[in-house]
Amino acid sequence: MPVSMISAVLVAALVGYGSTIALVLAAAAAVGADASQTASWVAAICFSKAIGSALLSTWKKVPMVLAWSTPGAALIAASTGVDIHQAVGAFIFTGVLIALTAAIRPLNRAVSAIPTGVASGMLAGVLLPFTMAVATHAASESMLVLPLIAVFLAVRLFNPLMAVLAALFAGLAIAFTLGAAPLPATPVDWVALTFIAPTFDAAVLIGLGVPLYLVTMASQNLPGFAVLRANGYQPPVTEALGVTGLLSAFFALFGAHTINMAAITAAICLGDDVHPDKAQRWKVGLAYAAVWAMLGLSGPMIVPAILAMPPEIIAVVAGLALIPPLIGAVVSAFDVPATRFPAAATFAVTASGVAAFGIGAAFWGLLAGLVVYLMERLKAR
């Protein structure tokens, strides 16, 4: 295996893990996961990505690189009134929906029919409060937060992909060297998978499960398939959705939320500089899987260190990590003039955080955008 492939995989894994692990931890905290359940969540989703990447790459001989759903984690972190058991039920439901999308063509067409602007408006509304929190914490905890922002901005000038990872390392250094957080004890047990019994609550399935499915499909899987096409590969859509959906449903029993096709990290792994022979580049999926398996095994050592940091640092790192996705979502939401008003309605309702009948704002934002979109279509006809 070429050194260039190993190097690309390590960078992709570090970027993927370091840039959004704080967001995953914020999601776990939002649904009331305890320390063992949080460690299990991180380990399970790493193993899920490793198994899926290795299986799909070997099976289809295409470099298949998987990721956890970053907008999905943001959606979970923004939820209120949901406990870990209800969240696990929603994760299973989402995984089943993704697998059914691969098997049922009408469902696939229905999801594809949702205007990109509306889906992007929902995603932008979910992400906005997290990025706004950076300014809030900078004002209230300037000694902790401003150095992180400075590191992020400085590194971003030279290597945008490593900027969030650098901010995370800076946060760890500030938290532990300045005494803001006690050093955690190193756990002895490396593997920490904890079974979490699911609870299937109808309001949570609708308010969290359905939006999680939609943002994963629209904001993760579709761009991931586009990256493969851009690099000269025909993505095995049906097989990818089937495998990621079933793995998501199974590993949800150990706390993991949804996995999906990677886009940014996949772009790192698919270039000509990774392997000169395009037909052999599928092996990047095996190397990628090995790295994520190791990250899953070492999670019980990494996660306690991050959890020991002040919550303001975790919130700021997560907010900084979500700035690029927010930019992409806003641009996509308002790119097409015909769907700008429905996208604005979706964005405004989702960002408001309004909840009704136990169902979160993401669902109501999507519903509002679709109603406005259909009204405008009917008038045009």
CA gap 143, 141 in Å, rounded? 6
Least confident of 131-135, 180-184, 234-238, 345-349: 180-184
Q: Does residue 179 register a pLDDT over 80?
A: no
Each residue of 312-351: pLDDT tens digit? Answer: 887 787 788 778 778 878 888 898 898 899 999 999 998 8
Task: Find residue 356's DSSP bridge partners.
Answer: 359
> How high does pLDDT run on average in the chain?
84
Reported as a pLDDT band with limits 50, 70 and 90, residue 200 is: very high
CA–CA dist 290, 51 (Å, integer): 9
Measured CA to CA, the distance from residue 279 to residue 275 in angstroms comes to 9
Which pLDDT value is given to residue 209?
94
- 132 or 124: which leads in pLDDT: 132
- C-beta separation of 41 from 258 below 8 A: no
- Number of residues that this document lists for the chain: 381
pLDDT greater at residue 45 or residue 282: 45
Nearest residue to 266 (alpha-carbon basis) of 67, 71, 54: 67
The model carries a pTM of 0.73
- CA distance linking residue 197 with residue 142, whole number of Å: 41
Q: Amino acid letter at 313?
A: I
Closest by Cα among 92, 107, 105, 42 to 245: 92
CA distance linking residue 376 with residue 248, whole number of Å: 37
Q: Are 182 and 76 in contact (CB under 8 A)?
A: no
Q: What is the mean predicted confidence (pLDDT) over 144-160?
A: 89
pLDDT, tens digit, for every residue of 25-70? 889 999 999 988 998 999 999 999 999 999 999 999 988 999 999 8
Q: Helices 116-140 and 70-77: crossing angle, nearest 10°?
A: 60
Over the stretch 133-143, which tens digit does the pLDDT of each residue have?
Answer: 889 998 988 88
Give residue 188's pLDDT: 43
